[in-house]
Chain A
Amino acid sequence: MLEFKDVTFKYAEDDFYMMKDLNFSVKKGEFVSLIGQSGCGKSTILRLINGLEKPEKGEILIDGKNINTLKDYCAFMPQKDLLFPWRTIEKNLCIPMEIKGVPKKDMHKKCVNVLEEVGLLDYIDKYPKDLSGGMKQRVSFARTILAGSDIMLLDEPFSALDSLTRMDMQEWLLKQWKHFGKTIIFITHDVEEAVFLSDAVYIIQDRPFKDMERVEIPEQYPKSREFLKRPDIVALREELIKKLRNRREEQ
């Protein structure tokens, strides 16, 4: 579904390349995590996919078409909820639809449906200040769903939450992913989170990186916390941590 073909990129203000001739792909309906240390270029990959940055060389393809020729192909969920404090929850959810010109009547129906799905229908007329951190992230996720794209780019969406809420949100996200059937590219620096959520994990090790090592995660659904205690999963997690640590020591 998504394919990076020989993508080379560097920020104008930097004197080093983030990636050179990068190739990788994500299949339709997959949940893929990108892990790596801070500043390694995880977010840059999302910025390239959603068009906020342009590659110096190479191309990014979705279903074989260059993203420059496409519209509304991906929806981005940032680290912070970025809800507009002057808009109610419903009006916040409407933002992507207003931009895409969805008729008002349909907007309300879609908001009600998605809020029902994320369990926040009672908060439809509330303001972001009335919601907890976890609830706000759920609204932010709902807004990303309403952007109506098949690919969702999630940039460390749970990093600001406390550990218990975070666990709840991870389990919740898995259910939502199965329900909506989207392709998710998820960024995290938490190896456990990546292993718990994903079908596959891409490890970013070098800079500039050319290839990302893809590690497949054994399938299991529904997943519970017990999944993380399986001996093969514990070993896999340790292996990933070791790889990331080795990279840091080399640096």
Chain B
Amino acid sequence: MNTATTIDDALGASAATSPSAGFSPSATGSTSSPATASPAPAEASVTTTRIATPAMTPAPRKRSFKLSRKLRQRTLSAIAIVSMFALWELACIVFNISGLILPRPSAIFAVLLEKGPLLWPHAVQTLYTTVTGFAFGVLAGVVLGMIIGSSRFAYDVAYPLLVGFSSIPKVAVVPIFVVWFGAGTVPAILTSMVICTFPVVVNVATGLAHTEPELQDVLKVLGARKLDILWNVGLPHALPYLFASLKIAITLAFVGTVLAETVAANKGIGNVMIIASGNFDVPLVFAGLFILAAMGIMLYVVSSLVEQRVTGWAARGNEVAMG
């Protein structure tokens, strides 16, 4: 009951503020329940700062409210997505834009459906390349980050090198990989690996370097070895930093893969897109874009789910103590 009214008023609110009020499927919802809509937003503004921390809701009343808040957020973002497509479609029709320049979303979805079986292996190839490159990149990043972060000397020596290396545009690296390994999957994996290593290195090193010295002292006094401190204090402390970088790295890995695929590959979404654009098959290019976006979101969600599981303590760490 509670959730139902808040969804309604969420929809209503968005319909009222959205410039494309006519598109919202529930514009009627806002007018049907004006009385219930007014108190909810006021309460919402009070609790907005608390929603992110699940352990902070002692009263069950607040809990149910938080749920509806989440639902409201989801509904709003779903509406945003749908209305973006609707606007796009409408703009194409109203301004009579040629399908060669900006195909309508409906046309793109039609292509996706029609050529789905054909595109599928390419999507799998891109996903495989990205995930492999990402895995290697993260592994390399964690190892390098651990070395750099746990030794002042290694930091001083390696950091300038690393910065220099990471500031090379990765497009420029692809031809070198092609010369070394030939066109195909390997250069793509390497490109995505190289591109996603840097943020991981920097974050892991930062996480290790920012470990409280007092914490280390407590272990040092016990006679802990350097490896003990790294394992028991440094690495867990660096985990939230690592996961923050994973979310960046996974999207970068896609960039690397598609980059390499467009330059030198015979498979993969990047390759499909470059061929399609050569044939002026613009809807297919956009279909490729959609597939990339979908896969990117998917992997992002996966990595943030893993993050929540592994480092949930970090999100609650800055909460107020009970006494």
Whether A associates with B in a native complex is no
Residues of B at the A interface (CB closer than 8 Å) are none
Residues of A at the B interface (CB closer than 8 Å) are none
